[in-house]
Chain A
Amino acid sequence: MDVSNEVPIIRIEDGAHHVCHYTLSFTICRGFYSHETHQALFLSKATLSSSSACSSSSASPTTMPFISKIHRQSDYNLFSSATPIVIDNGASYFRIGWAGESDPRVIFRNIVQRPRHKITGETVTIVGDHDPALLKYFDCTRSGPRSAFDSNVVYQFETMEYILDFGFDRMGANGSGIDHPVLITECVCNPVQSRSKMGELLFETYGVPSIAFGVDAAFSYKYNQQRGVCDKDGLAMCLGFNTTHVIPFVDGEPIYKGSCRTNIGGYHVTDYLKQLLSLKYPHHMARFTWEKVEDLKMEHCYITPDYASEARLFQKGAKEAEEKTRCWQLPWVPPPTEEPPSEEEIARKAAIKERNGQRLREMAEAKRSSRINELENELHGLEFLLRQLEQVEERNIPSFLAETGYVSRQEIESARGKASQSLRKAKGEPKSEQAETEADPATNEKFALVNIPDYMLTPDQIIEKKKQLSIKSMFEGRQRLKQKRHEEELERERKQQLEEEKRLENPELYLEQLHAKYKDLSEKINQRKRLKTNGGGHTNGNNLSGNVGRGERLNAAQRERMRLLTTAAFDRGKGEDTFGARDEDWQLYKLMSKDNDDDDEGPDQDETELARISSRLQDLDPTFVPKSEASTSQPAEVPRSRPLTKEDFQIVFGVERFRCPEILFSPKWIGVDQVGLDEMAGVTIRRLPFKDESLEERLTSSILVTGGSSLYPGIVERLEAGIRMIRPCGVPIKIVRALDPVIDAWRGAAAYASAPEFYTQTFSKMDYYEKGEDWLRSYQPKYSL
């Protein structure tokens, strides 16, 4: 099946020649995958033409906040053991660096792969994202990339350990142990099991002197608050990889009591886009790798102010929609065009064909002449035998015949007759016509006895007469049939002449009439077929769509039969069995029997007429193409046979661009029954333990959106519209995007860890073991230092 035709392909006029250069408000490119995007071209559908093509990776290196940085740092030993190491342990990216610096030193995707080396067969560990070209030496089919996260909670500490190993290693650690305090982020209300496992890992395995845990969204909010982007009272909306949080801040401290979490994030958006594209283009499924789709998402997805109206725009195929449709041209090499054979080639082929034909003809001629020769010889032999036989005396005949192998004179004669007949045939002389015309005058003699009454005949003659009678009636029947055929031929010729006259009179009108007739007939036949399969039109009138798809394999008669069988089977034992009391009951078996099917009537009159008209149309009208039945019943068959074109290698996505991020606002679309982003603000305010209208106003007038998914263009406007709907009329609403939604959490954490009071918020290994689990559960750092 082919789903690709579900979106109306927009024809592109070759008029627009300006190179499309849509600038997005963000351009993100993951370092190692950027070369992949160079292969494929992204075209704005509206400006798509052979001459205007632009590469998607127009990102300049300075505006790439998301790039993986995995170079090993060399200055690890220059930092004193008092400088904390700051880790933003996000579900998608792991960022690690030094407190007080502006950027993390090492960034990589928070995944671990454990493929097998193809040659040596040993299982190796690969952390983060690497140049995919290097992975060709490994067999990655057994295990895909693994994450240490379940939702937003770390649960696989073996994987976490590999990631920490890699992170510390790339930081340049080479002493015995990590002799620096560590600040590591975790999710809001992290289960204590996960928190204590993380503490245990850092203390026991790496020898970290002290640890602090903090929430990434809070660090991001604090960072932006310090730069005046948001106030000390406000809401932090953090759109993470697996989850989305809204956390209220009062006096610069997060109130977790009022926070809420919806289990939707960037992962779900990418996954949704991936699934939708693979369903839409099943032939290109292998193209939609996770990394590729993530790039597509980051480059092309946006959030509309109003989903319904935007979707309607696309449904109507409006001009704006056309401009918003993006098209990804997959690498495609046009198939080699077959050149028409040259004159000489044609001549040469014709000569070969002619020569072969000549040879065959000669062979056939030789065979024929040898056969004629043979037959003539046989005939001569037989005639000679007959002449000899005449000379032989009566009593010597048997002995003479015994020598020849024939039994009687009649047999020889019949053999001679046969031989002469086949000789005539071989020579190509007509025989039957002659025979019949010859027979004509003899008819009366042949049937001499027919007209003589029975009483005048001997019993033998009566038998003979009966024979003659039957032969005569047969003969007459044949004559009649011949006559009829002849008459029909005449009639047809007359009709053809009539039509020809009509055609010559007014060719256009004639053609038109013929077309109309063809249409009528074909519709009539189709209708009949449909009725046959659908059982007499009780399909609520949706004939067209009713006969496609599942469940309609039986025709009406077969269905009726199945119904009778099932009722007969389940009718047993229900009350008194009166079957057979009436004679009509037994008719049931007749109806049930298979012979009742009467759908093979053979081609009827309409069909032959249709065939005639279509052949005539084909003669007269070169543009006429008869509608084949296959095209109506199996539409999937047709595209397969046609050669693949450039369009088949285009991934067109229009609605998907805003449909996928829309799940952040309607989680129900992917089966998550929780409030969307705009409603979350309302939920948070309701959950706050104190009712204070001025506080609520302060909260909504300082809403910060942060996290990777807040990069979609249009999210701020959309959120504002959504929150305005759920808040009382006239309250101030101000929504701002974080300065850098991706790195801000780490930067905030780095700034926090560099503060002199940071040490009051950490705990040591001794604290960890002495204070117990309940203390760890209630551990919460103070964010305003």
Chain B
Amino acid sequence: MEAEIVEAELVLPSYFSFKKVQMYEKYPKGQSRGRHWKHLKQIIQAENYQNYPPDEPNYVNIESPPSMHPCKRICDITGFEAPYYDPRTNLRYANTDVFKIVRSLPNDYVQRYLSLRNAQVVLK
């Protein structure tokens, strides 16, 4: 290792005196462990919230509901108010100048703009 890396103590040592179980003991090298963790979705599923009274707060039921206000529609490209939307690309646009840009955008850019608001075409 280079001197400046050692000096900055950039690399986390593998042994710490204050640990009862070291990392290399817990996860020995060269052994495939597979996936040993759960995604949040799986964690929530395992919590079995349906077995608890619904008025007890939990991770799922404190989530906010959908908005009751009408959604302000903004131009996907410029961020201005967007009264129009292009049925061909599904992009919202503010005026004719933006429309020209919208129509000249290559498809992958259209999809990237759509994916900003999670409206892109998803192939399954």
B partners with A: yes
On A, residues with C-beta under 8 Å from B are: 1, 3, 6-7, 72, 117, 120, 124-127, 130-131, 134, 137, 150-151, 153, 155-158, 161-162, 165-166, 168-169, 173-178, 187-194, 204-207, 256-257, 259-263, 272, 275-276, 279, 282, 307-308, 311-312, 314-315, 545, 548-551, 635-636, 655-656, 659, 666-676, 679-680, 683, 689
A137 to B7, CA, bound (A): 14
List the 9 closest pairs (A to B, CB-CB), nearest first.
A671-B118, A549-B103, A150-B40, A655-B79, A256-B57, A659-B79, A125-B12, A674-B64, A262-B64
- Whether, in the assembled complex, B88 has its beta carbon less than 8 Å from a beta carbon of chain A, the answer is yes
Q: When the two chains form their complex, are residues A189 and B64 in contact, meaning their CB atoms are under 8 A apart?
A: no
Q: Tell whether, in the assembled complex, residue A177 and residue B20 are in contact, meaning their CB atoms are under 8 Å apart.
A: yes
In the complex formed, the residue of B with least CB distance to A190 is B59
The answer to the question of B84 belonging to the interface, with a C-beta cut-off of 8 Å to chain A, is: no
Q: Are A545 and B100 in contact (CB under 8 A)?
A: yes
Known: A189-B57, A549-B103. Contact between A166 and B116, CB under 8 A?
no
Per a CB cutoff under 8 Å, which of B18, B74, B95, B109 touches A176? Answer: B18
B80 CB contact (under 8 Å) in A157, A176, A314, A548: A314
A447–B94 Cα gap in the complex (Å)? Answer: 81
Shortest distance in angstroms between B70's beta carbon and chain A's nearest beta carbon? 10
Query: Main SS of the interface on chain B?
Result: loop
Interface centre among B10, B94, B109, B116 (most CB of A within 10 A): B10
Query: How many angstroms between the C-alpha atoms of A119 and B68 in the bound complex?
Result: 58
Determine the distance from Cα of A205 to Cα of B79 in the docked complex, in whole angstroms: 50
List the A side residues contacting B4 at CB < 8 Å: 134
Number of A-B contacts (CB under 8 A): 207
CB-CB < 8 A to B59: which residues of A? 153, 187, 189-191
Is there an interface contact between B63 and A276, defined as CB atoms closer than 8 Å?
no
In the complex, chain B residues whose CB is within 8 Å of the CB of A673: 66-67
Please indicate the chain B residues that have their CB under 8 angstroms from the CB of A191 in the complex: 43-44, 47, 58-59
In the assembled complex, the Cα of A763 lies from the Cα of B72 at a distance in Å of 48
Q: Is the CB of A679 within 8 A of B69?
A: yes
9 additional A-B residue pairs with CB within 8 Å, beyond A189-B59, A193-B43? A191-B58, A191-B59, A192-B47, A205-B21, A206-B20, A272-B116, A312-B81, A315-B95, A675-B68
On whether A126 and B11 interact (CB within 8 A), knowing A150-B39, A674-B64, the answer reads yes
Contacts of A3 in B (CB 8 A): 77, 101, 105, 109
Contacts of B72 in A (CB 8 A): 307-308, 666
Q: Are A189 and B47 in contact (CB under 8 A)?
A: no
Give chain B interface residues in 50-96, CB to chain A under 8 Å: 55-59, 62-69, 71-72, 74, 77-81, 88, 94-96
20 contacts between A and B (CB under 8 A): A3-B105, A168-B18, A169-B13, A169-B16, A174-B17, A191-B43, A193-B38, A193-B47, A206-B20, A257-B57, A259-B57, A261-B64, A307-B72, A307-B74, A311-B79, A311-B81, A545-B96, A655-B79, A679-B69, A680-B64
A134 and B5 contact, Cβ closer than 8 Å, known pairs A1-B104, A157-B37, A679-B67: yes
- With an 8 A cutoff between CB atoms, is B19 at the interface? yes
When distances are taken between beta carbons in the complex, the residues of chain B under 8 Å from A656 are 79
Chain A residues positioned under 8 Å from B44 (CB to CB): 191
Are A137 and B2 interface neighbours, CB within 8 A? yes
Q: How far is the CA of A555 from the CA of B46 in the complex (A)?
A: 60
Whole-angstrom CA separation of A1 from B102 in the bound complex: 11
Q: How far is the CA of A175 from the CA of B20 in the complex (A)?
A: 11
Give chain B's interface residues, CB within 8 Å of chain A.
Answer: 1-2, 4-5, 8-13, 16-21, 23, 26-27, 36-40, 43-44, 46-47, 55-59, 62-69, 71-72, 74, 77-81, 88, 94-96, 98-101, 103-107, 109, 112-113, 116-119
Residue of B nearest to A657 (CB): B79
The smallest beta-carbon distance between A412 and chain B, in angstroms, is 74
A574 CA / B60 CA spacing, docked (Å):
56
Within the complex, the shortest CB–CB distance from A264 to chain B, in Å, comes to 9
Minimum distance in angstroms from B12 CB to a CB of chain A: 4
Given contacts A150-B39, A191-B43, contact A175 B17 (CB under 8 A): yes
Which of A155, A168, A260, A276 is the one whose CB lies under 8 Å from B64? A260
* Pair A308/B11 contact, Cβ less than 8 Å: no
B24 CB, nearest partner CB in chain A, Å: 12
Query: A669 to chain B: which residues have CB within 8 Å?
Result: 74, 116-117
The docked-state distance in angstroms from the alpha carbon of A271 to that of B64 is 22
- The smallest C-beta distance from B64 to any residue of chain A, in angstroms, reads 4
- Is the pair B100, A548 in contact by a Cβ cutoff of 8 Å? yes
Contacts of B88 in A (CB 8 A): 549-551
Q: B64, A204: Cβ atoms under 8 Å?
A: no
Across-interface contacts of B65 in A (CB, < 8 A): 260, 674-675, 683
Closest partner residue, chain A, to B116 (CB atom): A275
- How far is B82's CA from A659's CA once the two chains are assembled, in angstroms? 14
- Check B63 against A674 for contact (C-beta < 8 Å): yes
Nearest chain B CB to A72's CB is how many angstroms away?
A: 7
Q: In the complex, which residues of chain B have a beta carbon less than 8 angstroms from the beta carbon of A636? A: 104
Partner of B78, one of A1, A7, A127: A7
Measured CB to CB, the nearest residue on chain A to B29 is: A123
| Chain A residue at minimum C-beta to C-beta distance from B23 | A161
Known: A155-B38, A191-B44, A675-B65. A130 touches B18 (CB 8 A): no
Task: State whether A156 touches B109 (Cβ < 8 A).
Answer: no
